[in-house]
Each structure stands twice: as structure tokens, then as C-alpha cells.
């Protein structure tokens, strides 16, 4: 008799973020970024075509509700004790619900920010790849991409791509676990 080892399905998590040259993702938590390039928006949309679901923090969801609510989306929030679904959007508290198990049915999941959501997903080990767009602008203030992670995030650069003549670049990293 042959014994077949069940193939372990593993969800691939990719984070997508746009930062200024000084590493900021936003000036104001309540607004959608208006300083990112059209080319980055197109790149972002293209990457989202290849995912089954997105994960966003509640503030990002509020800022981009018109886009996120059209997708299969998981919104991180401390305001629920168990996952609550409205249409295609599920609100989930990652301190209570096992996100890896909840998202395990998907092949590819995109983490779309903001900073609290990135930190949460990195801390939980739910980030395998990072696409970091760097726009040629510096704010000198504003929300940083990552703050207060439990551990340093170690990355391996896989590729770089220039998106436009202004010098917007995308760095593609593998997250080393
Ligand atoms: N440049 C970019 O690529 C990019 C990408 C995305 C967003 N943004 C911008 O970033 C800003 C929002 O970022 P943000 O860091 O302020 O907020 P965020 O990460 O979008 O959302 C923060 C909220 O998410 C919930 N949350 C996150 N982690 C949690 C955890 N571990 N446990 C429980 N709840 C958790 C909490 O919601 P509750 O308060 O409901 O508990 C928290 O207040 C917006 O301006 C947005 O446009 C920029």
C-alpha cells in the first residue's frame, strides 16, 4: 500500500507599499496617498489582479473604502471579537482570530497597508514578499512604513524596476523568515 503525504497548501503573502524617499507612507492617516505616481497605481492594480484577497488596516479601509469594498478583503480591527462579514469585506481582530488559518484557503493574499497592518502582518510572519515603490519625494514627517516591529525585518532584494522618467522605482524583496 502506498502512503501519500498530503500536500501542504501554503498561502503566499505579498505586501505592497509606496514610500517617499525618506520612508513615509502618508502625511495624514485619513487620506488616500495623492503623491504617488500613476505608474505606481497601475503597477499596484496589476499586482492585485493576481491575488485572491487583500488585507488592510481599518484606517486604510476607511480611506479607500470605495476600492477595498469591491474586493475580497480582510480588515484588521480591534472592534470585533469574531470575524464579521459585510458583503465581500470581513472585519477581523488579529489578536483573537488566527489570521493564518482564516486566510489559509487562499493561494495569494496582498497586504495593502497601512503601517499598523504591515507591522501586524510582519510580526505574525504573514509576509513572504515585499514590493516597495519609492517615489522621488521626501516629506520630512508623516507615517513611517514600519514602526515598533517585534523583530527586525530581514529582506533579500530580488529585483528593481524603474517605472517612469521621474525616477519612481519598485524594489522587490523576499522576506527572510
Ligand atoms: N503609501 C502606501 O503604500 C499606503 C498603503 C496603505 C495605506 N496608506 C495610508 O496609510 C494611512 C493609514 O495607515 P495607518 O497605519 O494609520 O492605519 P492602518 O494600518 O490602515 O489601520 C490601523 C487600524 O487597523 C487596525 N489594526 C491594525 N493592526 C491591528 C492589530 N494588530 N490588532 C487590532 N487592530 C489592528 C486598528 O483598527 P481599530 O482602530 O478599528 O482597532 C488600527 O487602528 C492612510 O493615510 C492610508 O492612505 C498608505
- Render the burial of 101-126: b for 16+ CB within 10 Å, e for the rest: eebeebebbbbbbbbbbbbbbbbeeb
pTM: predicted TM-score of the whole model, two decimal places: 0.95
Instruction: Select from 117, 126, 170 the residue to mutate for testing ligand 1; criterion: most ligand atoms less than 8 Å from CB.
Output: 117
What pLDDT band is residue 29 in, cutting at 50, 70 and 90? Answer: low
Between CA 52 and CA 168 the distance in angstroms is 27
Report whether pLDDT(175) > 70.
yes
pLDDT digits (tens, 9 = 90+) for 138-172: 999 999 999 999 999 999 999 999 999 999 999 99
Ligand 1 centroid vs 166 CA: distance in angstroms? Answer: 28
DSSP 8-state assignment for residue 70: T
- Domains plus CATH for the chain? 12-97+115-163 (3.40.430.10)
Between CA 22 and CA 6 the distance in angstroms is 46
Instruction: Select from 25, 84, 102, 150 the residue to mutate for testing ligand 1; criterion: most ligand atoms less than 8 Å from CB.
Output: 25
Between CA 7 and CA 61 the distance in angstroms is 34
Q: What is the pLDDT of residue 25?
A: 97
pLDDT digits (tens, 9 = 90+) for 60-101: 999 999 999 999 999 999 999 999 999 999 999 999 999 999
Tell me the mean pLDDT in the region 20-33: 86
Amino acid at each position: 500500500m502506498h502512503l501519500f503525504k498530503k500536500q501542504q497548501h501554503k498561502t503566499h503573502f505579498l505586501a505592497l507599499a509606496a514610500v517617499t524617499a525618506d520612508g513615509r507612507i502618508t502625511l495624514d492617516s485619513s487620506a488616500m496617498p495623492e503623491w504617488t505616481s500613476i505608474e505606481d497605481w497601475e503597477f499596484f492594480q496589476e499586482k492585485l489582479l493576481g491575488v485572491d484577497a487583500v488585507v488592510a488596516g481599518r484606517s486604510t479601509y476607511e480611506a479607500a473604502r470605495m476600492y477595498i469594498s469591491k474586493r475580497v478583503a480582510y480588515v484588521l480591527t480591534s472592534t470585533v471579537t469574531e470575524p464579521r462579514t459585510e458583503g465581500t469585506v470581513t472585519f477581523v481582530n488579529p489578536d483573537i482570530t488566527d489570521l493564518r488559518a482564516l486566510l489559509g484557503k487562499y493561494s495569494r493574499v496582498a497586504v495593502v497597508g497601512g503601517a499598523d497592518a504591515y507591522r501586524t502582518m510582519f510580526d505574525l510572519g504573514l509576509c513572504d514578499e515585499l514590493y516597495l515603490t519609492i517615489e522621488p519625494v521626501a516629506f520630512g514627517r508623516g507615517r513611517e512604513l514600519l514602526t515598533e516591529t517585534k523583530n527586525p525585518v530581514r529582506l533579500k532584494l530580488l529585483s528593481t524596476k524603474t517605472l517612469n522618467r521621474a525616477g519612481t522605482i519598485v524594489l522587490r524583496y523576499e522576506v527572510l523568515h
